[in-house]
Amino acid sequence: MNTLGRTVALALSLFVWMAGPGEAAAEKRVALVLGNSTYQYAPRLPNPTNDAKAMADSLRAAGFELIGGAPQLDLDRAATERVIRSFGAKLAGADVGLFFYAGHGMQARGTNYLLPVSANLEKEADVRYELIDVASVLDEMALAESRLNIVILDACRNNPFGGRGMRAASPGLAQMQAPAGTIIAYATQPGAVAADGAGSNSPYTEALSKAMLKPGETVFDVFNDVGIAVKRNSGGVQQPWVSASPIEGRFYFLGPTTVVTTPPADAATAAGAGADKETLFWDSIKGSSNRGLFEAYLKQFPQGTFTPIAEARIAELGGAAPSERAPVSVAALAVPPVPAPAPVPKPIPAPGATPAPAAPPARPLTVSAIPYLNAKAREALAIYPGLPSPKALAISAKGNYAYFSNKSNSRTEDDVKRSALQYCQYRAEEPCTLYAVGDEVVMPPKGFVPMPVEIVGSGRFDPASVPFVSDHTRKVGMVNYQRNPGHKALAVTLAGRWATVWDRDSEEEAKTAALERCGQSGGSQECMLYAVGDRIVFEEVPDEEEDEEEE
C-alpha cells in the first residue's frame, strides 16, 4: 500500500468532527455526486463525468457513502429527481451531507438551475419543467437535519440556451444564501463563468479532489486552498467562491490524526506549520479520556511539546509506561479501551451543618399507570419505553396523548417536549401536560397541571412559529421557504413531516404540489396546509379525526 493508501486507511479508523477539545466520534457521511456531459439538446461537455468520478473517489476515501454506490452520470430530469429524493432519505440521521454537481448550470430570475442531459429550452416557461432547481437539494438537506451540509457546484459554465430568447437568464450562477449549518461552494464567483478545462478535469474539481485528501485541513482551509490555487493557475480569471452560514465546531475531510510529514524545502516555514499541526492535534484530544488518542499523539510527535503530558495521561488512564509501550496499531487506535470512570466520593458535611435536601426519587414510567387513558391507548403506548431518547409523552385530561422521539437523530429534548405538547393540544383542543420525559415520569404527584403551548394558525408567516417541526427545521427549512419567490405553499403533519414548493404558476398549483410532496415523504399522517404564500392558513384546515400518533 502506498503512502496515500496508508494515510487513508488510518483516517478511516479515526474520522473526527471537532465540536470541542477532546470530542471525537465516528460519523455517518452521505454524498450525492452528479456529472452530466452528454447533453441531447445542448453542447457536450468533455469533463463533468470525469469530474464526478474524481470527486467520488476522493469522497469515498474520506468515508462518504455514495448514493447509488458510485457517481451518477448523464441523468435525465426524472432520474435526477429520483436520486435527489434518495439522497434526502439516506441523509436522515446523518452527520454530514454533501452534494456535488458538474455540468451545465444557469440562473434565471435569480434562481439557480442544474441542467439534466434531457434539458431542452425552447422558451422561458420551460425552465421549471426541464431543469432542476438547486433549492430542491437544499430542501432535502434541511428536511434531513444533518449537522453539516456541503453543496459544491462546478456548474458556472456558459448558458447553452442563451440564444433562444432567454431574457431572464444571466451569466454564471447567482449567489445563494446558505441555510444554517450549510456551506455552498462555487467553481467561480457569482455571475462569472468558469472554464471546463483543457485536461481531463475542470481546474476547480482537479484542485478540490486533491485538496480534500490533505490530512489536518478544516473544510474552510480546503476551500480556501482551492480558491487560491485556481485563481493563480487561471491568471486571476477564475476565482472560486464560498457562501456559508456559521458552522459549529471544525469539520475535517481527513482529521488531524492523519498528518503525514514530508521533508520541507524551507525548514523554518515547515517548522511553523508542523507546530500548528501539533497544537491542533493536541487541542483536539487534551480533554479526552481515550488513551489511544494520546498514544497516537506520541507516535506522530515523539519529541513534541506536549509529550510529557501525554505520557502522564496514558499512565493516568491505565496505560503502560513509555518505555514499555508496544507500537500502536491502526486496530488499537480504531477501538481503544476506555477506562471506567472513578467513583466520586460523597462530600462529608461540616459538623452542625444542615444537610442539603435529598433530590426527589426518580419515578420510572409504567405504561399501565398512565392516568386518563383507556386500555386501547395504553396498549398503543407499549412502544414508548423502547423508543430512543430524547423523547417525551404528553397527555390531556380528556384521554388524548402524543409522544415524540429522536428517531432521526435530529431533535433535541426541547424539540420533543414542545412538539408532544403541541400535537396533544391540537388533538384535545385544550392544553395538555407533560407526563414523561425520557423514561421518567415528570407530571407532579398532585395531579394534572395544564401546560399551554402556542400554535399559530393564522396571520403572517413566521419561520420561528411553525409547529410540530424541530428548531433546526425552523432555522433552515422554514427560513428557506420564507425567502423563496412566487406562488408557494407549505404543508405539515402533526408528526413533524413537512414539504414546501415555490415559484409555481398559481396559488392552487402551489397548494396541490405541497400536499402531494408532503404525502410522498412517508408515514400515515395526513398532510395539512400550514402556509400559502406568506400567509398562515392552518386554522382553515379541518381537524383530523385520529387521536394519536408519534414521531
Q: Parse the chain into domains and list their residue ranges.
A: 26-251, 261-334, 367-441, 459-540
Q: Strand 29-35 relative to strand 64-66: parallel, antiparallel, unpaired?
A: parallel
Q: E strands within 46-135?
A: 64-66, 72-73, 96-102, 105-108, 111-114, 132-133
Strand partners, 434: 394
Q: What is the pLDDT of residue 290?
A: 65
Rg (CA), the chain: 27
**Using CB atoms within 10 A of its CB, is residue 286 exposed (0-12), middle (13-18) or buried (19+)?**
middle
Protein fold of 26-251: Rossmann fold (3.40.50)
Q: What is the H or E stretch that residue 57 is in?
A: helix 48-61
Report the distance separating Cα 164 and Cα 248, nearest Å.
45
Q: Which pairs with CB-CB distance under 8 Å and at least 24 residues apart come from 511-514?
A: 513/489, 514/488, 514/489, 514/490
Report the distance separating Cα 191 and Cα 233, nearest Å.
20
Report the distance separating Cα 190 and Cα 176, nearest Å.
9
Q: What is the pLDDT of residue 466?
A: 94
The mean pLDDT values, 10 residues at a time, for the chain of 551 residues are: 37 36 58 95 90 94 93 95 92 89 86 90 82 89 85 78 53 75 87 66 92 88 92 86 83 63 39 55 66 72 77 69 38 38 55 56 84 90 89 93 76 89 92 93 88 92 92 82 87 89 87 86 78 91 44 44
Classified as helix, coil or strand, 65 is strand
Question: b/e for 79-108, b at 16 or more Cβ within 10 A?
Answer: ebeebbeebbebbbebbbbbbbbbbbbbbb
Q: Which pairs with CB-CB distance under 8 Å and at least 24 residues apart come from 59-63?
A: 59/29, 59/31, 59/33, 59/98, 59/100, 59/212, 61/8, 61/11, 61/213, 62/8, 62/11, 62/29, 62/212, 62/213, 62/253, 62/254, 63/11, 63/12, 63/15, 63/27, 63/29
Q: What is the pLDDT of residue 263?
A: 37
Helix %, strand %, coil % for the chain, to 5? 35, 15, 45
Residue 286 DSSP code? T
Dihedrals φ, ψ of 441, to 5°? -70, 130
Q: Which residues contact 481 (CB under 8 A, 6 or more apart)?
A: 461, 463, 488, 490, 500, 502, 531
Query: DSSP alpha helices (H): ranges in 188-290?
Result: 203-211, 219-233, 267-285
The predicted-structure confidence for 79-134, as pLDDT tens digits, reads as follows 999 999 999 888 877 889 999 999 998 888 778 889 999 998 877 778 888 999 99
Q: How many CB atoms lie within 10 A of CB 199?
A: 11
Report the distance separating Cα 47 and Cα 199, nearest Å.
8
Whole-Å CA distances, 462 to 46, 259, 481: 46, 46, 10
Q: What is the pLDDT of residue 443?
A: 92
Report the distance separating Cα 308 and Cα 289, nearest Å.
16
Q: What is the pLDDT of residue 68?
A: 94
User: pTM, whole model, 2 decimals?
Assistant: 0.55
Residue 257 DSSP code? G
Four-point Cα dihedral 258, 263, 267, 268, nearest 10: -10
Q: What is the H or E stretch that residue 311 is in?
A: helix 307-316
Q: How many CB atoms lie within 10 A of CB 180?
A: 19
Q: What is the pLDDT of residue 433?
A: 95
Report the distance separating Cα 43 and Cα 405, nearest Å.
50
